[in-house]
Structure 1
Amino acid sequence: MARTYDKLVRDAIPEIIEENDETAVTHTADSDEYERRLAEKLDEEVAEVHESGDVMELADVLEVVYALADRKGVSRDELERLRAEKATERGGFEDGIVLERVE
């Protein structure tokens, strides 16, 4: 029975499907489609974090973030440097501060 997904998947998924005696029908996204699909995938993975709270979903979010950074020519190390720099300048989210308003 055919199932339709029409979404970006991890590179090994077609092989895993084939190992289960099913046929994966795929195509390789061009540059514009790939960027759009990565943004959609980020939304999907963030929604899964909200739904399940599973730390593995956070790992999926991070994988998509790394792919998006790579598309912009930013390495994982550079992304971490930028994150740390911003945390130094503006703080992190450890204290749970909620800004209600500015008067």
Structure 2
Amino acid sequence: MPRIYDKLVRDDIPSLVEANGDRPITHVAEDEEYDRRLLAKLEEECTEYREDRSLDELADILEVIRACCVQEGWSVEELEERRREKAAERGGFETGVVLEAVVERQSTPDEN
């Protein structure tokens, strides 16, 4: 009885399965299916990182992000540049600031 996975895997996984003496059943996802499976893979890897806070799991997330960039037609360099721009404009996440609420300022009669 085959073990069912039905998920996007790294390109060399079928070869590793064969090297283990098993027979992989695969197909190549394209277009909308690839987009859908890539997003599902990102969620899977984020879940795995939440459960096992390892550098390996974080590297898996980064690999999926790299694949997302390629799929969208962006370079990893463009992603890094956008990250730097946003960090310069709004900061990063190093200090742990939590925004609990925003109290809107009251308008004065002069502003109406």
Equivalent residue, structure 2, for 1:80: 80
Alignment gaps of 5+ in structure 1: none
Per-residue CA deviations over 1:33-63 (Å, capped at 9, x if unaligned) read 0000000000000000111111110110011
AA in 1 matched with 2:71 = R
Matched, 1:48 2:44: no
Count how many residue pairs are aligned between Structure 1 and Structure 2: 103
Query: Equivalents in 1 of 2:13, 2:62: separation in Å?
Result: 18
Larger Rg: 2
AA in 1 matched with 2:69 = A
* TM-score normalized with structure 2 length: 0.89
Query: Equivalents in 2 of 1:72, 1:20: separation in Å?
Result: 34
Query: Equivalents in 2 of 1:40, 1:61: separation in Å?
Result: 12
Equivalent residue, structure 1, for 2:66: 66
Superposed structure 1 runs of 4+ greater than 4 Å apart: none
AA in 1 matched with 2:66 = Y
AA in 2 matched with 1:32 = E
Query: Equivalents in 2 of 1:36, 1:42: separation in Å?
Result: 10
How many angstroms does 1:14 deviate by? 0.1
Per-residue CA deviations over 1:1-52 (Å, capped at 9, x if unaligned) read 4210000000000000000010000000121100000000000000001111
Matches within 5 A, 1:1-103: 1-103=1-103
AA in 1 matched with 2:89 = E
